[in-house]
Structure 1
């Protein structure tokens, strides 16, 4: 049973790490300008799914943001088209920061579960030796 707790929390650690990676990538590219003849950076969104039985959670896939992004009038940008527009990703910085906090807290909580389960398992082994 304790190994189930470690296994389930471990699977959640993996999902939260991948979520953190995706959010970090989105944040790093929030101001990435592209020319209007190309696609904007597409934000990544991790899709998690419950596994069968007591197997925990896993990444079921990745969804991507809109490649059209948003057009911004920046005539001084070297990537601007003849009308002065460049393409930016459609990423909301505030929402991404909220997701970053949730992913960090989820990672921390599952790391604590693994640590407590390990401590409990070690205590049980110590009792068994006595």
Structure 2
């Protein structure tokens, strides 16, 4: 790991969590959208994360650390968004014959669960804040190290 690794890892977490919060905001904004340009109601989106460079096993990291004790031989890590996928859970059918989107009196509504979205938003927000705290700590350590030299 180089001197800036911890800041790079935190920065990747900040970017990934910001995108996650944007997707959640889009889901909430479209919670009542019954007609999209693609046709049909809006389907909520799910953000999928993965480790940057894949997930190494403990044994491989330990082996690299033994062979290269100076920096552990470990690649810089972090997180990235691997994909944003549509939620395939079933849509809700609501009886509303007055709606222009009604078929046989029923309207298909989005599969956005506001409670779930709010829980995800709190999780993303807390993860974002944790990355800010880690970044600030790394910055403070780097500043202190520079002042000692």
Q: 2:135 aligns with which of 89, 94, 114?
A: 114
Q: 2:112 aligns with which of 76, 84, 91?
A: 91
* Number of aligned residues: 125
The question of whether the paired residues in 1 share the 8 Å contact of 2:34 and 2:40 is answered with no
**1:64 equivalent in alignment to 2:86:** yes
CA deviation string 1:39-97 (max 9, x = no partner): 2212111110011232311111111123962221112223323x222121111111111
TM-score normalized by the length of structure 1: 0.87
Q: 1:104 aligns with which of 111, 125, 141?
A: 125
The question of whether the paired residues in 2 share the 8 Å contact of 1:22 and 1:46 is answered with yes
**Which structure 1 segments of 5+ residues have no match?**
none
* Equivalence for 2:17: 16
TM-score normalized by the length of structure 2: 0.76
3-state secondary structure, aligned to 2:4: helix
The question of whether the paired residues in 2 share the 8 Å contact of 1:34 and 1:86 is answered with no
The separation in 2 between residues aligned to 1:34 and 1:68, in whole angstroms, is 16
RMSD: 1.9
**Which structure 2 segments of 5+ residues have no match?**
54-74
The question of whether the paired residues in 2 share the 8 Å contact of 1:39 and 1:69 is answered with no
3-state secondary structure, aligned to 1:5: helix
